[in-house]
Amino acid sequence: MVTVAGGPGAAATASARDGAALLRLTGIVKQFPGCLANDRVDLAIPAGEIHALLGENGAGKSTLVKIIYGVLRPDQGEIRWRGELVHIANPAFARKLGIGMVFQHFSLFEALTVAENIALGINDPAQRRDLKKRIVEVSQSYGLPLDPDRAVHDLSVGERQRIEIVRCLLQNPRLLIMDEPTSVLTPQEVERLFQTLRRLSQEGRAILYISHKLEEIRALCERATIMRLGRVVAECDPRQETARRLAELMIGNELKSPSHRTTGADGKGARLVVQGLSLRSDQQFGTDLKDISLSVAGGEILGIGGVAGNGQTELTAALSGETLAERADAILIDGRPVGLLGPGARRISGATFVPEERNGHGAVPAMTLAENAFLGAFRRLRLVRTGLIAAGQTAAFAGRVIQSFDVRTTGPAAEARSLSGGNLQKFIVGREILQAPGVLVISQPTWGVDAGAAAAIYQALLDLADAGTAVLIVSQDLDEIFSICVRIAVIYQGTLSDARPIRDVTVEEIGLLMGGAHPEARKGPSHANPA
């Protein structure tokens, strides 16, 4: 079944002609049903270069690197590796060529050990011998400490990424692809990663670095290819460009920035209060919540930052009532103790919720928008009459959400899965906001959403707060929190820091909190070298 194309007979002569580029893509086209993911993409990377691939979510970056790594096959176009025309039929072949990849969502096996995970990425049986010893060697020489016998589910996110990198390095790659490697790391971990990458580059290895974080790319990369809507729109030296210029290239049009807020609370007191909330996670790899306290006043937007997997999921589930607290007064909505009440009672008490995941959590993909409107709103809007669904009112409400939030769809009878990510997110946010809640808890409001939809969602959240609602935003995107929140707290390993006014904190302080350090404890001159 597996076809390994691009036989060795092809061209020894070609490599001389095209020797400058380690990897050269020409005219790559990839069509998915309803979406042209790559449209005649060209890309060239010489040996030893750290090359950025920059673009928004949905620009086609991930599709392109999956083609390079042999996970997807292009519909058109050619790939030359060291000048030779190749058909990368599968990742095993890519690895044989000398291409290694670190995925954004790590392709790790939770139930297996570090060594087993790495063994799975190595094709040559001879190389699997003495594997544990070599893992220790490589990880030490690059400053990536790892214990080969530990099971992956015990490891932190940063440690997991190390597995992926060590797995690649063991195969001595000429090109290392990194897909959004820093999205899950603390600022300090990021600095450490960059040191490793620079060292690899000095050894003559090329790195294709995929990101949408402008400052990172300016700090790390020598060359950048910028993609938008499946096409390459520019190539430049990012060190010579301003972040603003890169952003314009990436986004393509001027954005309306949300109105900045200097005042927060409307003075009528806290509408959402959490006091001493502790919860053991019942999930296999979950995070326990430890003594969490916070309060959000009407008219205020509080942001909770933090690296993924530090208890955000558990906290939002505890707030929405999907998991119950141990005491009723651990959570108060408008003064009413709701800690022991389920999601329905909490909604009736005045709160609404937007979960992080759209498909299968905030909405049911195979159900219509009307049904999905019912899902979140039937209690507050009383859409049930003697056990039966009030179909007319439900459809009318769904129509109102679609209209008010400019959801691009054919109408309330459309299935949720027929909508793009941004449109579905607008629908869900709209559904929760139009119920006029006293408290809104929203998780990752603009994850995977295009810039236009993100701006609309921000504006809606600001308007809601102006109308007196207490808004709590849980987000991994610090830019987002800094641009619309009034106060910020950081969650780290299930513990929440004190909330502080945005204008009093710096990104560096927040970064330290995200990594578990307390900035207050380190007054005075900032420490020289965290690594």
Which C-beta is closer to other proteins: that of 49 or that of 356?
356
At its nearest, how many Å lie between other proteins and the CB of residue 129? 11
Query: Residue 55 carries which side chain, given as an amino acid letter?
Result: G
Residue pair 99/177 in contact (Cβ under 8 Å)? The answer is yes
Which C-beta is closer to other proteins: that of 284 or that of 506?
284
For the chain, the first-to-last Cα distance in angstroms comes to 47
Residue pair 482/283 in contact (Cβ under 8 Å)? The answer is no
Q: How many CB atoms lie within 10 A of CB 459?
A: 14
Which C-beta is closer to other proteins: that of 299 or that of 376?
376
Which C-beta is closer to other proteins: that of 188 or that of 320?
320
At its nearest, how many Å lie between other proteins and the CB of residue 31? 9
Which C-beta is closer to other proteins: that of 75 or that of 334?
75
At its nearest, how many Å lie between other proteins and the CB of residue 415? 5
Q: Which token pair is 274?
A: 């959490």
Residue pair 369/409 in contact (Cβ under 8 Å)? The answer is yes
At its nearest, how many Å lie between other proteins and the CB of residue 468? 25
Q: Is 351 left (phi over 0), alpha (psi -120 to 50) or beta?
A: beta
Which C-beta is closer to other proteins: that of 180 or that of 371?
371
Alpha carbon distances (Å) from 328 to 274, 275, 315, 322, 342: 11, 10, 16, 14, 11
Q: Report the relative pairing of strands 223-228 and 231-236 from DSSP bridges.
A: antiparallel
Which C-beta is closer to other proteins: that of 71 or that of 233?
71
Q: How many CB atoms lie within 10 A of CB 235?
A: 14
Which C-beta is closer to other proteins: that of 48 or that of 77?
77
At its nearest, how many Å lie between other proteins and the CB of residue 366? 6
Q: How many CB atoms lie within 10 A of CB 406?
A: 12
Q: CB under 8 Å to 223, separation ≥6 — which residues?
A: 45, 49, 50, 51, 52, 235, 236, 237, 238
At its nearest, how many Å lie between other proteins and the CB of residue 387? 5
Q: Residue 254: beta bridge partners? A: none
Dihedral, CA of residue 82, residue 86, residue 89 and residue 90, to nearest 10: 0
At its nearest, how many Å lie between other proteins and the CB of residue 262? 34
Element (H, E) at 164: helix 157-169
Residue pair 417/359 in contact (Cβ under 8 Å)? The answer is yes
At its nearest, how many Å lie between other proteins and the CB of residue 418? 5
Which C-beta is closer to other proteins: that of 148 or that of 238?
148
Residue pair 250/269 in contact (Cβ under 8 Å)? The answer is no
Is 346 in a helix, a strand, or coil?
A: helix
At its nearest, how many Å lie between other proteins and the CB of residue 20? 19
At its nearest, how many Å lie between other proteins and the CB of residue 390? 10
At its nearest, how many Å lie between other proteins and the CB of residue 58? 15
**What secondary structure letter does DSSP report for 305?**
E
Which C-beta is closer to other proteins: that of 98 or that of 299?
98
DSSP string across 194-241:
HHHHHHHHHTT-EEEEEES-HHHHHHH-SEEEEEETTEEEEEE-GGGS
**What secondary structure letter does DSSP report for 155?**
S
Which C-beta is closer to other proteins: that of 10 or that of 251?
10
